[in-house]
Amino acid sequence: MSGNMIHSGLEGVYIEKSSICKVDGEKGKLYYRGYCIEDLAEKSTYEEVCYLILYNKLPKKKELEEFSEKLKRERTLSKEVLEIIKNMAAKAHVLDTLRTAMSAISADDPEPYSADESVNIEKAIRIIAKTATISAAIGRTKKGKEIIQPDNSLDHSENFLYMLTGNKPDREKTKLIDVMFILHAEHSSNASTFGALVACSTLADIYSAVVAGEATLKGPLHGGADEAAVRMMESIGDPANTEKYIDEALAGKKKIMGFGHRVYKAYDPRAKILKRYLDEIDGNDEEDINKLVRIALTAEKIMIERLGKSHGIWPNVDFFAGPLYMHMGIKPEMFDTVFSSSRTVGWCAHVIEYWKDNKLFRPLEEYTGKTDLEYIPIEQRR
């Protein structure tokens, strides 16, 4: 038996010290730079949250205005990047297209790598702005529609929704998309952030680190979880079928997508915020969306009764995100790009922070194979 301690999935292993984000899984609390997520979702904006995460302080009015103008100046994509999107988007997964386009953006930067923090913050602003435009362009291309150019009269997340759907959102949807971006902006050392850190630890440039984050985000256990949850709701079909579906799934030991979390042992605070928005639109949308909302709210109640208090399995942010995205006109296949567009600021902030005291990631593995095997020439092998 091995004497080595194996931490599968690096569970319980601390990889760095960070002042960016605190996730208190036992109490169900989330903080960005010391500010609780409830206050930021209610009182702040995504642009202000980006500033907070990058600069470690809330901006003054003039600072926020200057930051917003920088984002607007960086929204436009080159013809070369647009061609990549047009060539790939119709047949490739959205994140495959996004990471390829992000790689192309680095070609327009004469010095992709820099050790200067202020220079990397400027690169982060460029990446945040262009990621939203890329994501919206992917959505338009997948639907066979013309790509919509940025509208600089609109704020960042509002402009993203406009470029994606072709409709300037009303006040309710403008606030909702902004809240969705805020809630997905950062979440400590999750899989995609860790992927970005591994890439940057080699002193690869910040674009490469973001591409690594986007690639890691792709799986259904991470960025694809909200799409998987809404697909489950669609398969339930009718709110009246919800309890039967859950009971059969639990009896068969099948996972209920959108419930449980590696860190949270209490109700995910982001899910609590989104549930309030679901409550507000309940019964006030198209029939298909109304059904999804009712299924989500019914499933939440049943799952809390079955597994919440007894097993510590609560709804996470992915469970409620899907119906709300669809309420805003965002199709399930585009959920990953919304997540990525939101989380880019977190990846960039962690990369910039890690480079202050960089150390190459080089974990060990326990070898379980054979050794000292005899090499047999190919003519003698049977």
Bin 19: left if φ > 0, else alpha if -120 < ψ < 50, else beta. alpha
Selecting among 318, 327, 336, 350, the annotated active-site residue is 318
Judge whether 138 and 91 are in contact, CB under 8 Å: no
> Annotated catalytic, 261?
yes
How would you class 287 by CB atoms within 10 Å of its CB: exposed for 0-12, middle for 13-18, buried for 19 or more?
exposed
Cβ neighbours for 298, distance < 8 A, ≥ 6 positions apart: 239, 242, 243
For Cα atoms 187, 188, 191, give the angle at the middle one, nearest 5 degrees. 85
> Annotated catalytic, 187?
no
In the three-class reduction of DSSP (H, G, I as helix; E, B as strand; rest coil), residue 275 is classed as: helix
Selecting among 261, 268, 327, 350, the annotated active-site residue is 261
> Annotated catalytic, 282?
no
Judge whether 140 and 164 are in contact, CB under 8 Å: yes
| Phi and psi angles of residue 13, each rounded to the nearest 5 degrees, phi first | -95, 130
Residue 306 per-residue DSSP state: I
Judge whether 88 and 100 are in contact, CB under 8 Å: yes
Selecting among 24, 109, 155, 222, the annotated active-site residue is 222
- Residues identified as active-site: 222, 261, 318
